[in-house]
Structure 1
Amino acid sequence: MFYTTNAIVLSKLKYRDNDLIVSCYTQDFGVLSFLLRGVLKSKKGNTKIAYFQLLSQIQIVIDYKPNRALHTIKEVKINTFYTSLHTQVVKSTIVMFLADVLTMALKEEESNLELFSFLEQKLDWLDKHEKISNFHLLFLLQLTKYLGFYPDTSLVEFPYFNLSSGLFENKPYGKYSVSDENLEFLKLFLGIIFDDVATIKMTAKQRQRFLDMLLLFYELHLGHFKKPKSLAVFSQVFS
């Protein structure tokens, strides 16, 4: 049966000589994978590939059948035309990194309209703004709201944060208790919106340490999560 749904491209992989497998986060069905047959062997195929750049926002007509591993796309069009996300080096590096994170973090084949709206809005924000050095940090932190392990802020005044429990604590419990400057940055990011994210002043080393803490936070709460392969390239660009 054919359905029309909005989607965000998460990854693409060459399959055989002329085919691509594309993974998307869809508005109506969650994560789905699609087989694009023959797109690598013709000039017309090259035009089609352009729709599937990482984190592109597209609308697709799909032949969807439950429990099928690979689905078919019948029609595709761009929903949002980015002006800088795929052309500026720093932004394209952020895109590559976040696509890796989302590919590992999003596994469910079910609709989550709030999460989909969050992704749409924040990608649009990234495309339109220039002061973005802290964007990925706030993005990763706010994404945890939709993944089910956002920090409990009811005791945010306490001097420790436990990455394993997601709680602020009065005393350190275990090896995942945070009390250094990462704790202070965490409290700042918890109380800020994207339009003000550039007001948080961090050195490159501080930004990297805070990112490492956030990725550990993900690993502790998502059993299948591993540090993105693009992390090394991403860290070089932001060093």
Structure 2
Amino acid sequence: MTHKTKGIILRTVRYGETSLVVTMFTELFGVQSYMVNGVRTSKKSGLKAAMYQPGAILEMQVYHSEQKQMHRIKEADWAYLYQNILSDVIKNSIALYMMELLYKVLKQPEQNADLFYFCEDALIQLDAAPPHIAANFSLYFALHLAGFFGFRINDPEREGQAFLDLAEGAFTDHAPVHPYFLEGEYAQVTAELLKIMQPHELDQLKLNHVKRRDLLLKYQEYYALHIQDFGQMKTLAVLQELFN
């Protein structure tokens, strides 16, 4: 049976000489894997293969069975054709970071329409964002994505809470006894990021590359504390190089 659904490409792996195995976050079925045959056989099919880059948003007709772990795509086309993400090195690297993070936290193949629309909107807004907003986009996405998985950092309860306990996901008056916390300006910036509900508001943040890099490392630490077997993010090293 076929179904019409949108999907966001999380990961693409070559299979054989001409095929791909694509991991996708779909609007209807959550995270799913698809075998895509014959997409690397000629220049013409190379255009088709470009659709399956991480971050691409597709409109599809798919074959789906609850009894199968690998599915097939009957038809696919762009649901949104990017103007910048696939060609701009910085925006492409941020999109790859977003997709790797999403891939690491999506454990179950369950529909989550609110999360899907958040990710779809974030990618579209990243595509259109001016450079000073795009620079902080990975921070915004990492903090707000956590809320969909039950470990969003709580807003400060009052002024003057200078420490952010990453293990508890809460601001405090005193440094925790463990090393997993932010303090001072880094805690303050995180509190400001939590208040930002739309990416265009990111122009309020003035961060240099060192602070941005340090915060991303701490947010990776935060995810590792709350997601089992989270590990290290490969795309983080690329972002760090770009921020330098």
TM-score, length basis structure 2? 0.92
Give the C-alpha shift of residue 66 in structure 1: 1.1
Once the two structures are superposed, the pairs formed by residues 56-205 of structure 1 within 5 Å of their partners are 56-130=56-130, 131=132, 132-153=134-155, 155=157, 157=159, 158-175=161-178, 176-192=180-196, 193-205=198-210
Give the C-alpha shift of residue 19 in structure 1: 1.4
Give the C-alpha shift of residue 99 in structure 1: 1.7
Deviating runs (4+, > 6 A) in structure 1? none
SS in structure 1 at match of 2:122: helix
**1:229 and 2:243 aligned:** no
SS in structure 2 at match of 1:71: strand
Cα shift readout 1:158-211 (whole Å, capped 9, x = no counterpart): 232210111222333332232232111111112224212122111111111111
- The AA in structure 2 aligned to 1:93 is S
Give the unaligned 5+ runs of structure 2.
none
Give the C-alpha shift of residue 41 in structure 1: 2.0
Separation in 1 of the partners of 2:152 and 2:27? 22
Separation in 2 of the partners of 1:144 and 1:117? 15
* Alignment check: 8 A CA contact 2:151 2:226 kept: yes
Give the C-alpha shift of residue 141 in structure 1: 0.7
* Alignment check: 8 A CA contact 1:60 1:75 kept: yes
2:30 alignment counterpart: 30
Cα shift readout 1:10-41 (whole Å, capped 9, x = no counterpart): 11001122211011100011100111122222
SS in structure 1 at match of 2:142: helix
Cα shift readout 1:130-162 (whole Å, capped 9, x = no counterpart): 131111101111111112111122625323221
Separation in 1 of the partners of 2:126 and 2:109? 26
SS in structure 2 at match of 1:227: coil
Separation in 2 of the partners of 1:174 and 1:15? 48
* Alignment check: 8 A CA contact 1:3 1:62 kept: yes
SS in structure 2 at match of 1:14: strand
Once the two structures are superposed, the pairs formed by residues 48-59 of structure 1 within 5 Å of their partners are 48-59=48-59
* Alignment check: 8 A CA contact 2:20 2:36 kept: yes
SS in structure 2 at match of 1:62: strand
Separation in 1 of the partners of 2:119 and 2:158? 26
Identity of aligned residues (%): 28
Cα shift readout 1:66-124 (whole Å, capped 9, x = no counterpart): 14221100110111111111111111111222222111122220111111110111111
Give the unaligned 5+ runs of structure 1.
none
Give the C-alpha shift of residue 5 in structure 1: 0.6
* Alignment check: 8 A CA contact 2:155 2:191 kept: no
Give the C-alpha shift of residue 220 in structure 1: 0.6
Separation in 2 of the partners of 1:75 and 1:216? 39
- The AA in structure 2 aligned to 1:184 is Q
Separation in 1 of the partners of 2:69 and 2:177? 41
